[in-house]
Every structure is written in structure tokens, then in C-alpha cells.
Chain A
């Protein structure tokens, strides 16, 4: 499945609940990313990590948190502080330091807040 797996594919959340989206890669890529996709707004970067135990905020980090305890895994938590969490979330990875940030994407997770 392209070497990068996201789960779950669909997720429903009640307001006030935190949810965690999983992202696992077996490509031995150093860098991992989380993007949010909304119609007409392209792909907006939430968080990214270039090395284990280190990560940086992207353009829309408010209301989200991440961890990078293992090279293969980069889970995203959507907290209750995120005001409009209903969206399609894409995880991606790339070879850090290769000079060309070719991204390999997962299949995505669609989060709906009820």
C-alpha cells in the first residue's frame, strides 16, 4: 500500500473528544508530515518531523499535537481545542536531506465531528 499506512480510514468524533490518527511507514524515511486537506484550500501543513524525537509546527498547528518516538511512526492527535476538525488528513514521508522533498502519501483519514 505504498509503504505508508494511515488508520483509521474514517473516524467520527463527538465534540470535546480528542482523537488520534495513526501513520506508519516502512520506507526508512527520516521525515514525516501531516497535512490537512479542505476543498479549495490545497494541502496545509500541520506538523512535520525530520528526525526521531523532534518535530516542528507547520502553518496550522493550533489544536493538534504529534509525537515521534519511533522513526516509523508519527501519530497525530486532534484535540478538542481544534475549532473545525472535520477534514481529510494526509500523512506523508520523505527522505530527509536528499535535496528533493519527494513526498510519499498515505491513503488518508477522513475525520467527521458529529
Chain B
């Protein structure tokens, strides 16, 4: 069945450094790739998403890149801040289909 693999499971960076989280997916028909951020004790919230007709999307310090040929996509956070500390989930789905989530990455930004 469909599967999304996410790496690394934990990531620790120094404030101001960049962080990169990578995901691979198995369903070649997937065309929607969102990223959710879950702060400690809070609900997951969408931070950025990308569709298959776009290779890269940026929103301030956050960017997502997509390589459909290789079936992988990545989240890039630049100039990390302590408030970026959270668990990040990638996901993939077909048009109108159910989302399949990765296992999550716990990002820790050290001041």
C-alpha cells in the first residue's frame, strides 16, 4: 500500500542554522504534499504545501522542494529560531484521496 518514509526522526540544530527534513513516498500518483507542525501539547497545523506541478515553494523562512521522478520531497527551514522547535510531519495524497503521513521529525533548536 501507500507509504511515506520520513527522516530523520530527531534533529537538533543551533539557532540560526538551517534544518532539512526529507520524505519519500511510494504512490507515484500522489500529487499533493503538505507539511504539518505540531508544537508540544498542541494540534498539528499546516505550515506549507506543494502540488506536483511545482518543484519548489517558499514562504519566508520555510521552503519545500519536490522531485517527482525520485518520489521525494523536503522541508527546508532557514535561520532557525527556538520557536521552530516542534514535531514536523510530511504527508502525501492523490487528488481528493486520503493523506498518508510520515513518522514525524522532532526538531530541537538550541539557543
Binding site for B on A (CB under 8 A): 2, 33, 35, 40-45, 48, 58-59, 90, 96-97, 99-103, 105-108
Contacts and interface: CB of A to CB of B under 8 A. Distances in A.
Interface of B: 1, 6, 9, 32, 34, 36, 42-46, 49, 51, 89, 93, 95-104
B98 A101 contact: yes
A97 B36 CA distance: 21
Given A99-B95, A101-B99, A42 B6 contact: yes
B43 A106 contact: yes
Contact of A100 (B32, B45, B100): B32
A2 B34 CA distance: 19
Nearest to B90: A42
B46 A103 contact: yes
A40 B32 contact: no
B51 A105 contact: no
Contacts of B32: 99-101
Given A97-B96, A100-B32, A101-B32, A40 B9 contact: yes
Given A99-B95, A100-B51, A41 B103 contact: yes
Given A48-B98, A101-B34, A103-B34, 18 more contacts: A2-B43, A33-B98, A40-B104, A42-B101, A42-B103, A58-B98, A59-B1, A90-B43, A96-B96, A99-B32, A100-B32, A100-B49, A100-B51, A102-B34, A103-B36, A103-B46, A105-B45, A107-B43
Contacts of A90: 43-44
Nearest to B100: A45
**Residue among B43, B44, B46, B49 having the largest count of chain A Cβ atoms under 10 Å:** B43
A48 B100 CA distance: 13
8 contacts: A2-B43, A40-B104, A42-B103, A43-B104, A48-B98, A101-B32, A101-B96, A107-B43
A70 B54 CA distance: 37
